[in-house]
Amino acid sequence: MIQYQIQKGNFIKHCPCSPETVPCGYYNLNLHTGCSFGCSYCILQAYLETKEPVFYTNIQDMDAELAAFVPGHPNLRIGTGELSDSLAFESLTNYAPKILNIFKKFPDVVFEFKTKSVNVKHVLEYPTVLKNIVVSWSLNPQPVIEREEPRTPGLKARLEALDAVQKMGYKIGIHFDPMLAFEGWKERYTELIRQIAGVVQLRRIAWWSLGTLRFPFSLREHILKHKESNLFAGELIKGFDGKYRYFKPLRLEMFRHARDTIRREVGESVPLYLCMEDSETWLETFPEIEPVEESVNKYLYDSVFK
């Protein structure tokens, strides 16, 4: 059952990064919590107090908070995809036009809808294409979607929604997060990148993130409830940040394979970045990008307006 509440705390919060990882300068706008997709690896299973979706109704307070926040935060990038899928409940909430109305007043602030859904109707019907809006999709190979994300739209449907949004004139984002290590992962991710390359317009890509599976120990019991899950197929160790991760050599191999394949199949100029990785991994994967928050954020912010 959906709950409607007043948000009594702050709407805007810095995206939480693990200790010793390189932040990308992103901020979260917590307009709703909870998700109906129930992906096996989702941290919300262990993080949220209630499994029921909660929608905050005092959007005017969010608007006022944003107006006070923006002047002190140049190159601001912000989105609603941390505690919920940005568009999964759009048919019930009609939040997208309200958000677009707000960010129309802040053309220098980049706002991201981050989703696995295909609920883009309200974005497509909005009367003005806003240059500061990014609509992003979390993507994985279709077998991974079927096994780990069974309640989500399939890859073909997501790519069709992505195509409709980019053709309307919006910038789009792509998130390979989490990338999963399983038998044949290299071939599957190569195939996925080629499928994306057949749809995406290079000039419309705002950013493309790469991140491998990671989770706190508290999530393990929730993952085990997903009987079809294959998350424990790859060997995991307790990492530098206390989360369980793949060994670093494997993470580097996955990042480099994705990087090289994307640059070959999609384009050399795709703005790529890492999610929740330390500076050493950054330097070994993207030596051309200074692995500090201000530099990474400016790099991604500027890519939206190119």
Find the CATH number of the domain harbouring 28: 3.80.30.30
Task: Tell whether the torsion through CA atoms of 197, 209, 165 and 33 is positive or negative.
Answer: positive
- Burial of residue 221 (CB within 10 Å: 0-12, 13-18, 19+) is exposed
How many structural domains compose the chain?
1
pLDDT value at residue 158: 98
Question: Which residues form the domain of 149?
Answer: 3-304
Distance of CA 106 to the CA centre of its chain: 22
> Helices 185-197 and 155-168: crossing angle, nearest 10°?
30
- Identity (one letter) of the amino acid at 24? C
Q: Which pLDDT value is given to residue 49?
A: 66
pTM of the model: 0.96
Token couple for 206:
């705002």
pLDDT of residue 235: 84
Helix axes 95-103, 59-69, angle to 10 degrees: 30
Q: pLDDT value at position 240?
A: 83
CA angle 15, 304, 130 (to 5 degrees): 100
- Tokens of residue 30, six digits: 């917590």
Which residue blocks in the chain are alpha helix, DSSP H?
44-47, 59-69, 90-93, 95-103, 121-125, 142-148, 155-168, 185-197, 220-223, 248-265, 279-285, 293-304
The pLDDT of residue 81: 87
pLDDT along the chain (306 residues), means of 10: 88 91 96 92 83 88 96 97 93 92 97 98 98 98 97 98 98 98 97 98 98 92 91 87 93 98 98 97 97 98 97
200, 172 Cβ separation under 8 angstroms:
yes
Q: Tell me the DSSP string of 132-159.
A: TEEEEEE---HHHHHHH-TTSPPHHHHH
Interacting residues of 92 by C-beta distance below 8 A, sequence separation 6+: 2
